[in-house]
């Protein structure tokens, strides 16, 4: 321990921590831009570039960055001296001088940390002199998921740290004035980018955001010749309320359905239904593989970021990936087939919209493998954030809305289907159904606590109908590499592995409300809200869903049938970099 003084407060702290960390222990806030520490996912950006977090060392008469300066015995620190304030104002002036002033129309407005600091320090416009023309650098719209505006980049390197050190993808290797990408400035679609959008969640200024599809959705809603159907993912209902100051992890399912009805959607369906459907098809596939001891471990296919990673980096493992479409894909296909037929609607007139917590879902919707004779299974994907923008622009008083129910045909779901919104949910659901189908003893407890909760890698060994089954759950794509290498080398001990690209699974997706670094607390509350849905459902095993039974009886035939395979399953292909051979 060392003795230091901060703003006149004497305290003892550990000798190996920074001034920034020491200040937090006594609730002294020091502003930061480039620095960001996200508890629970091993994310810490130590790039010292912005210098906003400067403090004065009174005993040494100089200012230093608090995020990178370790405490020392006898330090006398001032976080709000005249020298500190003047230095911060000067630093912010320099940042703003190279930054667009399009705050009124910026996607990040009110969430932008540069804007927040500018307001707090009362930077006056007369003090700012532009050294370059705003919007001097070209925007990058080279993919369906992620939009980059290098004019707004403050070179904090948060995105680079997230992509390289946390997700371990390496699509962002260079960040500079007017530049966000790899060294060759390769279009993002031709890099190893998996469109997880975790770079979006840590960008402080809106230099990286999701591709905006709100305009296309509004156009569809205003077209009287179109029948516009929407589905909502499990994780959206436990996060949307945050954008309306309703607290973290509040389940706003009923209000969300009401809002979608008022926005003009003709039908509002629940992706939880399709999650139950995915469980059945994947359980059938899993059981067949275990019985035949073939293509094990089975790898889940619900996360498009994860699927893209396999297609980019591990095409030799295609046989291990479940052929099931994601719940979004299954629902989209059913809307333009079963629903259209049942309601006597020409599929050409249906516009299928999905509300997702994930920006990779935008890319998934464009895949040629997820299309039919009437076009793409899903026409447009909007994120949780984009839906909140639509609700606000329609002047809907969301917190005071009454609750509504999903529309009938795809409205029933089980607790197992709801679990898809969080990491481990897919495997928990499959285990419940597979155990039942194989005639195993009734599970003492449906919740698989050993694979729940914590970020990273978790594993468990289960007895399913007398067979010992090893399973693993990964969330955060950076934790998957070792498992994949074991599979390649034939050393994997697992029968099934679930991978979600984002920390926490879908609840931590790149399209969810911004977390500002308090991710672990937020994930815990979103996760518990998902578990609560499962805990209090009367039906908690996917094949008990009565509407699913009706779908198979009247349309698909038996589980794993040829028709079910045609509509609900897909294939994969190698997607190398543009400068690599296929």
DSSP string, 407-475: PGGG----HHHHGGGSTTHHHHHHHHHHHHHTTPPPPS-S--GGGSSSSEEEEEEEEETTEEEEEEEEE
- State phi, psi for 44 to the nearest 5 degrees: -145, 120
Which of 159, 163, 196, 302 is labelled catalytic? 302
Active site residue 506: yes
| 339 half-sphere exposure, CB direction, 13 A CA radius | 29
Could you please report the per-residue DSSP string of 138-202? --B--SSSEEE-GGG-----HHHHIIIIIS---S--EEETTEEE-TT---GGGSS-----HHHHH
* Residue 259 near residue 401 (C-beta atoms within 8 A): yes
Q: How many CB atoms are closer than 10 A to CB 254?
A: 15
> Active-site residue among 283, 322, 352, 503?
322
**Which of 56, 281, 364, 455 is the catalytic position?**
364
CB 401 within 8 A of CB 410: no
* Nearest in space to 147 (alpha carbons), one of 503, 516, 391, 511: 511
Q: Measure the CA–CA gap between 241 and 6, rounded to whole angstroms.
A: 38
369 is catalytic: yes
Closest CA to 423 of 340, 354, 479: 479
184 labelled catalytic = no
Q: If residue 337 lies in a helix (H) or strand (E), which one and from where to where?
A: none
Q: Does residue 361 carry a catalytic annotation?
A: yes
- 58 tagged catalytic: no
Tell me the two tokens of residue 397.
């008083």
Q: Which residue reads 């305290």 in tokens?
A: 11
Continuous segment of H or E residues that includes residue 381: strand 380-383
The helix (H) or strand (E) run that includes residue 101 is none
- The active-site residue, picked from 152, 361, 362, 544, is 361
What single DSSP character describes residue 70? B
Catalytic residue, candidates 108, 242, 281, 285: 285
Look at residue 351 and give its three-state secondary structure: strand
| Given the residues 15, 316, 369, 449, the one annotated as active site | 369
Burial class (CB in 10 A: 0-12, 13-18, 19+), 212: middle
Among residues 49, 205, 23, the alpha carbon closest in space to that of 117 is found at: 205
Of 210, 282, 386, 412, the catalytic one is 282
- Give kind and range of the element (H or E) at residue 220: helix 214-222
Q: Pick the catalytic residue from 250, 388, 506, 542.
A: 506
> Is 503 labeled as catalytic in the residue annotation?
no
Instruction: For residue 282, indicate whether it is catalytic.
Output: yes
Contact 292, 248 (CB under 8 A): no
Q: Are the C-beta atoms of 239 and 525 separated by less than 8 Å? A: no
Establish whether 302 is a catalytic residue: yes
Catalytic residue numbers? 282, 285, 302, 322, 361, 364, 369, 506
């Amino acid at each position: 321990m060392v003795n230091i003084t901060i703003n006149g407060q004497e305290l003892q702290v550990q000798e190996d921590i920074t001034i920034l960390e020491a200040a937090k222990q006594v609730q002294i806030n020091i502003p930061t831009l480039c620095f960001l520490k996200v508890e629970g996912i091993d994310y810490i950006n130590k790039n010292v570039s912005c210098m906003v977090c400067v403090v004065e060392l009174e005993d040494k008469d100089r200012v230093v960055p608090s995020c990178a300066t370790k405490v020392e015995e006898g330090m006398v620190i001032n976080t709000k001296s005249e020298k500190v304030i003047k230095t911060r104002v000067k630093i912010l002036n320099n940042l703003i001088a190279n930054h667009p002033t399009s705050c009124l129309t910026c996607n990040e407005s009110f969430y932008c940390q540069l804007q927040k600091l500018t307001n707090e320090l009362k930077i006056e416009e007369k003090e700012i002199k532009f050294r370059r023309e705003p919007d001097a650098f070209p925007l990058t719209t080279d993919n369906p998921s992620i939009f980059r505006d290098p004019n707004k980049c403050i070179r904090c390197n948060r995105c680079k740290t997230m992509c390289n050190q946390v997700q371990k993808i390496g699509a962002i290797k260079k960040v500079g004035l007017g530049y966000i990408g790899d060294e060759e400035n390769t279009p993002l679609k031709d890099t190893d980018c998996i469109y997880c959008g975790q770079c979006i969640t840590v960008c402080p200024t809106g230099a990286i955001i999701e591709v905006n599809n709100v305009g296309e959705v509004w156009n569809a809603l205003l077209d009287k010749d179109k029948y516009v159907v929407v589905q909502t993912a499990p994780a959206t209902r436990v996060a949307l309320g945050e954008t309306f100051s309703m607290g973290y992890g509040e389940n706003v399912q009923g209000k969300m359905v009401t809002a979608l009805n008022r926005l003009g959607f003709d039908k509002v369906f629940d992706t939880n239904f399709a999650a139950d459907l995915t469980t059945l098809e994947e359980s059938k596939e899993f059981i067949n593989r275990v019985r035949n001891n073939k293509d094990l471990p089975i790898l889940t296919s619900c996360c498009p970021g994860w699927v893209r990673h396999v297609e980019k980096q591990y095409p030799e493992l295609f046989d291990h990936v479940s052929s099931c479409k994601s719940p979004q894909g299954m629902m989209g296909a059913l809307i333009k087939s079963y629903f259209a037929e049942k309601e006597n609607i020409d599929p050409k007139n249906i516009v299928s919209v999905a509300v997702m917590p994930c920006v990779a879902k935008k890319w998934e919707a464009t895949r040629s493998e997820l299309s039919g004779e009437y076009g793409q299974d899903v026409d447009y994907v909007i994120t949780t954030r984009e839906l909140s923008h639509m609700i606000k622009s329609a002047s809907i008083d969301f917190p005071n809305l009454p609750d509504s129910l999903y529309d009938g045909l795809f409205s029933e779901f089980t607790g197992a289907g709801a679990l898809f919104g969080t990491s481990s949910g897919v495997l928990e659901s499959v285990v419940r159904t597979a155990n039942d189908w194989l005639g195993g003893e009734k599970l003492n407890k449906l919740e698989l606590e050993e694979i729940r909760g914590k970020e990273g890698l978790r594993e468990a060994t289960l007895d399913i109908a007398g067979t010992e089954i090893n399973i693993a759950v990964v969330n955060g794509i950076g934790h998957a590499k070792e498992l994949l290498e074991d599979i390649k080398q034939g050393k994997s001990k697992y029968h099934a592995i679930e991978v979600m690209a984002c920390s926490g699974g879908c609840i931590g997706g790149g399209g969810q409300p911004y977390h500002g670094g308090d991710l672990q607390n937020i994930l815990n509350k979103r996760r518990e809200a998902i578990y609560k849905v499962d805990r209090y459902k009367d039906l908690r095993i996917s094949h008990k869903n009565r509407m699913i039974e009706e779908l198979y009886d009247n349309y698909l035939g038996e589980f794993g049938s040829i028709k079910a395979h045609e509509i609900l399953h897909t294939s994969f292909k190698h997607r190398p970099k543009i400068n690599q051979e296929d």
